[in-house]
């Protein structure tokens, strides 16, 4: 919108206190209080002179409207007009859309309009477009579940671009049109829309809905519900084989049970291997007692007190048997340290004979009874096996996305076995593949709820984790700089993370003569228990950075990243 700048427009705006809100983030999370009601809030980004907002607010007194506009001159024109209306359901902000998260909290907005607001129709400015992935992540955050975005533009190129980015960001496309007519639909026409129609220009229109976390994360729910402690990953493997076979040029399997799909890249270009581990922590039946109780050991690292009074499922040859890990009630003086030796599973049997009848045998595997649910927060989800059905699902999600991105690399995505008992599948499968870059995708315990000894790192909804150090793997400094640089460039949230544990990256670094091996982490709380919690917004950050790495990677990039090693080697030789 080309208009002559009005002198001191930002100061003149201050006269309109009933409608204009000075730049301030004091409204974040408090918009309902400001409007003094619980009505849904609709946001127009790049509202221009405010025709659409004003008429919509008049028509729909039960909807609250907020307009944002980056030009103070244009906003002044809007506020002058709107102040004549005495409407009570409108506020205006003089801000740029890139700062949305400073002004709006999670799930505060029901509806976003992008009406001809995008000033960046050219491809080379794609990152600045209001439908670029970094903007869509912000809309995802501030929108309620099932929240709507409506986009109108006169630009076909921008329309096609937006359809792609919206789909990639997991918005559900409800409607798209290349000859939209608001009048026919009883929707308020915007000022630009009128202009374009008068000059016979086609109006492009897209309507999308934010998927609920439940729906967006369905793949992960399915995976987390499967039984798959280390050494008994068959159910997960079958699921993955079917999924990868539908997409892959080739399936790769190691001798321990790890499975991967491969998409071939160009000759001579790098091989990127991306893996979650398909196993979860659990237990194994060791002894059937005469009194009908079942003794068991840990598979993977579970602290004994986590088991107490949990529901568990034993997977027998005859099917599932549910039981509970017995605890001592306070009436009987429960106290002191809990050891694995003192724990047992009560499946309701009255004798060893009963147990045998149910099909329970030493060597049977057991897991926690699953409890996958989306919390009231809507972004946070609890499950028994985020570690690491998350990485398993993300590797698959990334693999499915490969057809939509451009890059020269061979990409091998899949899942290893037996990570929790010593990175066993990663050893065999990385030796099989000998990648140039290995990316372990795993959940790491952040310290925002249960701080560990000393320093703790990370929080939920802080972005993906750059794991710069763990006892088994030190992130190559050049690689760290590279990943951080990509995150900054593409505005993906990230956090530095130090861990006292290890991931598959620790063993994959030995593949061939040694390779770049990193972990991209998802923040998780309470892992290695029945009740770990993650945040969907961090899931999006993990996905975004992994895709950006693939898109950016090439033999030139690999050489560049390796360069510092040669340089330091050369320096040593000079001495």
Q: Which is nearer to ligand SAH, 203 or 223 (CB)?
A: 203
Minimum Å gap between C-beta 120 and ligand SAH is 8
The interface mask with ligand SAH, positions 8-47, x = CB under 6 A, is -------------------------------------xxx
Output the CA angle 534-531-426, nearest 5 degrees: 70
| Binding of residue 96 to ligand SAH (CB under 6 A) | yes
Q: Which is nearer to ligand SAH, 117 or 383 (CB)?
A: 117
One residue of 43, 54, 57, 69 binding ligand SAH per CB under 6 A: 69
Q: From 159, 163, 152, 165, select the one nearest 191 (Cα to Cα).
A: 152
Instruction: Provide, rounded to whole angstroms, the least separation between the CB of residue 168 and ligand SAH.
Output: 21
As a whole number of angstroms, the distance between CA 162 and CA 136 comes to 10
Closest distance of CB 115 from ligand SAH, Å: 4
Closer residue to ligand SAH, CB minimum distance, 7 or 573: 7
**Under rule CB under 6 A, residue 71 binds ligand SAH:** yes
- Angle (CA) 371 372 377, round 5°: 120
Q: Which stretch binds ligand SAH (CB under 6 A): 20-28, 67-75, 156-164, 231-239?
A: 67-75
> At 44, which helix (H) or strand (E)?
strand 41-45
* Least distance between ligand SAH and beta carbon 195 (Å): 8
> CB of 229: closest distance to ligand SAH in angstroms?
49
Based on the shown chain and the rule CB under 6 A, indicate whether residue 117 belongs to the binding site for ligand SAH.
yes
Q: State how far Cα 508 lies from the chain centre.
A: 24
Among 61, 119, 477, 514, binds ligand SAH (CB under 6 A): 119
Query: What's the CA gap between 470 and 186, in Å, rounded?
Result: 59
**Would residue 26 show up in a list of annotated catalytic residues for this protein?**
no
- Minimum distance of ligand SAH from residue 69's CB (angstroms): 5
- Is 282 a binding residue for ligand SAH by CB under 6 A? The answer is no
**94 contributes a contact to ligand SAH by CB under 6 A:** no
Burial class (CB in 10 A: 0-12, 13-18, 19+), 354: middle
SS3 per-residue string spanning 438-462: EEEEEEEECCCCCCCCCCCCCCCCC
Q: Exactly one of 419, 420, 540, 548 is catalytic; name it.
A: 419
What spatial distance separates the first Cα and last Cα of the chain, rounded to whole Å? 63
Please state, in angstroms and as integers, the Cα–Cα distance from residue 390 to each residue in 182, 225, 272, 277, following that order.
42, 12, 19, 9
Residues 166-195 that bind ligand SAH (CB under 6 A): 190-193
126 binds ligand SAH (CB under 6 A): no
Label residues 128-143 b or e (16+ Cβ within 10 Å = b): ebbbbbbbbbbbbbbb
**124 by DSSP, 3-state: which?**
helix
Among residues 43, 57, 82, 97, which is the contact residue for ligand SAH, using CB under 6 A? 97
Does residue 556 bind ligand SAH (CB under 6 A)?
Answer: no
Could you tell me the two tokens for 250?
Answer: 């080739």
CB of 128 to ligand SAH, least distance (A): 8
152 contact partners, CB below 8 Å, separation of at least 6: 114, 115, 116, 180, 190, 193, 203, 204, 205
Distance CA 24, CA 95 (A): 10
Q: Residue 115, interface with ligand SAH (CB under 6 A)?
A: yes
Query: Residues in the site for ligand SAH, rule: CB under 6 A?
Result: 1, 45-48, 52, 68-71, 74, 96-97, 115-117, 119, 190-193
Active site residues: 419
């Amino acid at each position: 919108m080309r208009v002559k700048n009005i002198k001191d427009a930002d100061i003149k705006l201050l006269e309109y206190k009933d409608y204009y809100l000075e730049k301030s983030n004091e409204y974040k999370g408090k918009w309902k209080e400001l409007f003094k009601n619980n009505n849904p809030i609709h946001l127009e980004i790049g509202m221009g002179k405010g025709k659409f907002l004003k008429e919509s607010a008049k028509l729909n007194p039960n909807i609250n409207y907020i307009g944002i506009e980056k030009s103070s001159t244009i906003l002044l024109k809007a506020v002058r007009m709107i102040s004549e209306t005495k409407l009570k359901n409108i506020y205006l902000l003089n801000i740029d859309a890139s700062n949305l998260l400073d002004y709006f909290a999670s799930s505060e907005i029901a509806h976003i309009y992008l009406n001809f607001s995008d000033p960046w129709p050219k491809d080379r400015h794609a990152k600045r477009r209001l439908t670029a992935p970094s903007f869509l992540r912000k809309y995802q955050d501030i929108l309620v579940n099932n929240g709507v975005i409506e986009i109108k533009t006169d630009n076909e190129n921008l329309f096609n671009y937006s359809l792609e980015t919206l789909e990639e960001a997991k918005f559900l496309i409800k409607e798209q049109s290349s000859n939209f007519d608001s009048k026919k639909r009883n929707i308020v026409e915007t000022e630009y829309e009128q202009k374009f129609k008068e000059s016979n220009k086609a109006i492009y229109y897209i309507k999308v809905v934010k998927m609920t976390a439940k729906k967006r994360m369905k793949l992960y729910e399915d995976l987390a519900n499967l039984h798959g402690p280390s050494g008994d990953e068959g159910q997960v493997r079958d699921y993955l084989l079917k999924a990868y076979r539908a997409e892959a040029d080739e399936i790769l399997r190691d001798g321990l049970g790890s499975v991967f799909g491969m998409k071939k890249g160009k000759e001579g270009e790098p091989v990127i291997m991306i893996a979650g581990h398909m196993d979860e922590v659990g237990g194994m039946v060791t002894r059937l007692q005469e009194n009908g109780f079942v003794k068991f050991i840990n598979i993977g690292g579970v602290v004994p007190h986590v088991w107490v009074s949990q529901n568990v499922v034993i997977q027998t040859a005859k099917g599932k048997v549910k039981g509970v890990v017995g605890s001592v009630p306070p009436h009987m003086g429960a106290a002191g340290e809990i050891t694995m030796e003192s724990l047992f599973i009560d499946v309701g049997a009255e004798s060893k004979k009963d147990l045998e009848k149910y099909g329970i045998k030493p060597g049977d595997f057991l897991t926690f009874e699953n409890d996958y649910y989306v919390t009231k927060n809507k972004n946070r989800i609890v499950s028994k096996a985020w570690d690491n059905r998350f990485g398993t699902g993300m590797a698959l999600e990334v693999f499915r996305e490969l057809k939509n991105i451009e890059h020269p690399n061979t990409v091998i995505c899949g899942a290893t076995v037996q990570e929790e008992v010593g990175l066993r599948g990663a050893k065999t499968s990385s030796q099989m593949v000998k990648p140039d870059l290995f990316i372990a995708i795993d959940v790491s315990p952040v310290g925002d709820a249960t701080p560990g000894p000393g320093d703790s790192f990370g929080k939920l909804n802080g972005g993906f984790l750059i794991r710069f150090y763990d006892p088994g793997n030190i992130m190559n400094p050049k690689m760290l700089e590279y990943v951080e640089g990509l995150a900054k460039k593409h505005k993906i949230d990230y956090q530095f993370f130090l861990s006292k544990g290890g991931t598959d990256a620790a063993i994959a670094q030995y593949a061939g003569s040694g390779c770049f091996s990193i972990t991209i982490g998802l923040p998780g709380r309470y892992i290695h228990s029945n009740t770990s919690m993650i945040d969907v917004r961090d899931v999006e950050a993990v996905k975004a950075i992994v895709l950006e790495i693939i898109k950016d990677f090439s033999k030139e990039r690999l050489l560049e990243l390796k360069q510092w090693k040669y340089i330091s080697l050369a320096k040593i030789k000079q001495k």
